[in-house]
């Protein structure tokens, strides 16, 4: 039977990585033979816990969001810029791959309340058609799920992020 345990993890920030430990507890809903774990809520520490192995700082993820909402920076170019910054700051580990960081950021962005005024005066918050900037937010067709909502939809349970 699995118990709570501490495992190594790598925290990703704006300028480099830091090795740490994360305490995981056995998931009580999963079958015992699968031994799945639940990680801690790290929001108060300024961390986003992606998959119990890759915590990223809110500063890193908010910087990404700010860049995409204020410029036409392609995702690949932003990841390359951060990767270069890691090299410049002599980070012990490299930055995440573009594919992995894309997964982390999209999950993080889904949890955010970006408090925007993207509202059509005629259609309201759910327009029949929306045009998204294909340069910054292009993603594979496999992500076009029924749960995909326009960026105008908000939820009262989302984190409030000022100045993002």
Q: Which residue has the tokens 């939809």?
A: 153
Q: What is the pLDDT of residues 135-159, one digit of tens each?
A: 445 556 666 677 666 666 666 666 6
Q: Which token pair is 85?
A: 């910054």
What is the residue extent of each domain of the chain? 4-112
Q: What is the pLDDT of residue 112?
A: 77
Q: Bin 38: left if φ > 0, else alpha if -120 < ψ < 50, else beta.
A: beta
The pLDDT of residue 34: 78
pLDDT at 128 over 80: no
The pLDDT value recorded for residue 118 is 58
Mean pLDDT of 5-31: 89
Are 14 and 59 spatial neighbours (Cβ–Cβ below 8 Å)? yes
Query: How sure is the predictor about 59, in pLDDT bands with cuts at 50, 70 and 90?
Result: very high
**90-109 pLDDT, tens digit each:** 999 999 999 999 999 988 98
pLDDT of residue 117: 59
Over the stretch 25-41, which tens digit does the pLDDT of each residue have?
888 888 877 778 777 77
Q: Identify the residue with better confidence: 88 or 111.
A: 88
The partner residues of 5 in beta bridges, in order of sequence, read 24
Judged on CB neighbours under 10 Å (0-12, 13-18, 19+), 127 is middle
pTM: 0.67
């Amino acid at each position: 039977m699995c118990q709570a345990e501490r495992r190594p993890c790598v925290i990703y920030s704006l300028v480099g990585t830091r090795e740490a430990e994360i305490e995981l507890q056995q998931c009580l809903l999963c079958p015992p033979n699968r031994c799945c774990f639940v990680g801690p809520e790290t929001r108060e520490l300024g961390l986003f816990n992606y998959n119990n192995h890759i915590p990223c700082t809110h500063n890193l993820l908010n910087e990404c969001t700010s860049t995409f909402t204020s410029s036409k920076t392609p995702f690949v170019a932003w990841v390359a810029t951060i990767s270069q910054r890691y090299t410049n700051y002599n980070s012990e580990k490299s930055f995440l791959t573009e594919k992995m960081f894309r997964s982390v950021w999209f999950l993080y962005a889904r949890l955010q309340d970006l408090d925007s005024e993207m509202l059509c005066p005629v259609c309201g918050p759910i327009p029949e058609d929306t045009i998204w900037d294909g340069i910054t937010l292009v993603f594979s067709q496999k992500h076009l799920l029924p749960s995909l909502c326009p960026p105008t939809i908000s939820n009262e349970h989302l984190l409030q992020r000022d100045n993002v």
